[in-house]
Amino acid sequence: MNTPTAVLGAGSFGTCLAMVCARENDVKIWSRREEVAETINRDRHNPRYLTEYELPARIEATSNLRDALAGRELVIIAVPSHSLREVMSQAGPYIEPGAIIVSAVKGIEFETGYTMHGVLQEVLDPEHHPRLVALSGPSFAAEIARHQPTVVTLACHEEAYAISVQATLSCPWFRCYTHNDIVGVETAGALKNVIAIAVGMSDGLDSGLNARAALMTRGLAEITRIGVAQGAEPETFLGLSGMGDLLLTCTGDLSRNRRVGLGLGRGRKLGEIVAELGEVAEGIQTTRAAVRLADRLGVEAPISTQVRLVIDGEKTPQDAGHTLMTRQLRSERDSVWKRGNGRGNQDERVRK
C-alpha cells in the first residue's frame, strides 16, 4: 500500500530513509539547496551525501516546503537539530491534517533543554501532537543505504502511530521496534553523542580498552540519570536507543562524534576537525546543552561536564581524564535509577 511520504532533509540520514521508504511509497525529499534538488531529479544521485548510491525513481526532490508536504501522509524529519525549530515553524502550516510526523533528529535544544519532541510540540499545532513519533537506534546511514541489517526504535506516546510507521518502514534489512517512552528514547539518542566524544578522546589518547569500557558504562549511567529525572523509564536506556546506539556510536569508525573525540585526543583543534568532517557532529552542541540541562535538573553529569570543558578549550583531554579518575569515591548504585521530581517533564513545560 502506497503511503505518500515527505522526507525533510537531504543529508545522509534523510537520503537513506528516503531510499527505505521508496521501496513501496512515493517520496518527496526536501533540500534547503535548490541545486541539490535539481541534481537529484536529473542524475538520480545526491551530489553531497551518499553520492555513490543511485536513488529510486519514486524519489522526487524539491526545495519548496509546500510542494514537499502537499498530500503527504507520512512526514519524516532529518534536519540538523539546531535548525529543527526554524524548519518546522515554516513547514507546520503545510502539514496535512492526520499526517504522522517522524523525527529522526537527535539533539537537545540549548536554550530550552528540550529534546526534539519538545521543540516539535512547541512549534506545531496541538492537533499534530498525538502523532509525533521519534526514530532512534544504532543506525549509520551508509550501512542502511547498502541494505545492511539495521534495527531501530519508533517511539510515540500513542504507540498505535508508531506501529503504523513500523509497518511502513520495516523490511528484511530495516527492522523497527515500537515504544511509548518518547522522552527516554530521545534523551538516549541525543546524549550518546556526548559519550562518543568522550570515548573518542580516550581512544585518541591511547588510554586503553579498560578506559573505553568504563566510559561507556558510566556514560550510560549518566544518560540514564538525566532521562529518569525527566520522567523516562530506566529500562528504556538498556534498549536500542540507549545501550544499542551508545555501543555503535562509541566504537564505530563511521561515527562523526567519535571522530571528533579522536581528533581532540590527538591534540587537534576542534575547528579543523569539524571542517574535515563536512557534516554536522551533533554531539558538540548537545554537550553544551546536556550540561546546562543536567544543572537545571540537579543531576550529576561528570563526563558531559569534562567533555564540555575540552570542546570549549578550557581543559586538555588529559586533564579531563585525570579529573574523572580522581573524583570522590562512591557506590556504583548511587543515583542511577532514582526518578526525578518532574522538573524536566517536557510535556508539562510545553503546556504551561
- Which residues are CB-neighbours of 102 under 8 A, at least 6 positions away? 74, 75, 76, 77, 133, 134, 135, 154, 165
Whether the CA torsion 40, 42, 43, 48 is positive or negative: it is negative
Query: Domain 5-180: which topology?
Result: Rossmann fold (3.40.50)
Distance CA 32, CA 65 (A): 9
- Residue 184 is placed in which grid cell? 527516554
- Summarize the confidence of residues 321-350 as an average pLDDT: 69
d(CA 155, CA 176): 10
> What is this structure's pTM?
0.93
Identify the three-state secondary structure at position 264: helix
Confirm if 196 and 249 have CB atoms less than 8 A apart.
yes
**Ranges in the chain annotated CATH 3.40.50.720:** 5-180
| pLDDT tens, position by position, 24-45 | 999 999 999 999 999 999 999 9
* One-letter amino acid of 350: V
Q: How far, rounded to the nearest angstrom, does the alpha carbon of residue 274 sit from its chain's CA centroid?
A: 18
**The predicted structure's pLDDT at residue 1:** 77
Distance set, CA 134 to CA 186, 220, 250, 327 (Å): 7, 20, 21, 36
Domain 190-337 sits in CATH at 1.10.1040.10
Edge to edge, the sheet with strand 132-136 lists 59-62, 27-30, 5-8, 74-77, 100-103, 132-136, 150-155, 174-179
Residue 267: how many other CB atoms lie within 10 Å: 11
- pLDDT category, 347, cuts 50, 70, 90? low
Reported as a single tens digit per residue, the pLDDT across 219-278 is 999 999 999 999 999 999 999 999 999 999 999 999 999 999 999 999 999 999 999 987
Q: What is the full DSSP assignment across 82-103?
A: GGHHHHHHHHGGGSPTT-EEEE
Return the active site residues: 192
Residue 342 confidence (pLDDT):
41
Beta bridge partners of 102: 76, 133
Q: Work out the percent of the chain whose per-residue pLDDT is above 90.
A: 92
Task: Say what the pLDDT of residue 343 is.
Answer: 39
- The span from the CA of 273 to the CA of 241, in Å, is 26
Residues 6+ apart with CB under 8 A from 316: 310
pLDDT over 90 (residue 334): no
- What is the separation, in whole angstroms, between the first and last Cα of the chain? 40
pLDDT tens sequence across 78-126: 999 999 999 999 999 999 999 999 999 999 999 999 999 999 999 999 9
Q: How confident is the model at residue 10 (pLDDT cuts 50, 70, 90)?
A: very high
Predicted local distance difference test score (pLDDT) of residue 345 = 55
Band of pLDDT at residue 348, cut at 50, 70 and 90: very low
Could you say which DSSP state residue 56 is in? P
230: alpha, beta or left? (left if phi > 0; alpha if psi -120 to 50): alpha
Q: Where in the chain is the domain with CATH 1.10.1040.10?
A: 190-337
Return the pLDDT at 333: 81
Environment class of 261 (CB within 10 Å of its CB; exposed 0-12, middle 13-18, buried 19+): buried
Residue 210: is it exposed, middle or buried by C-beta count within 10 angstroms (0-12/13-18/19+)? exposed
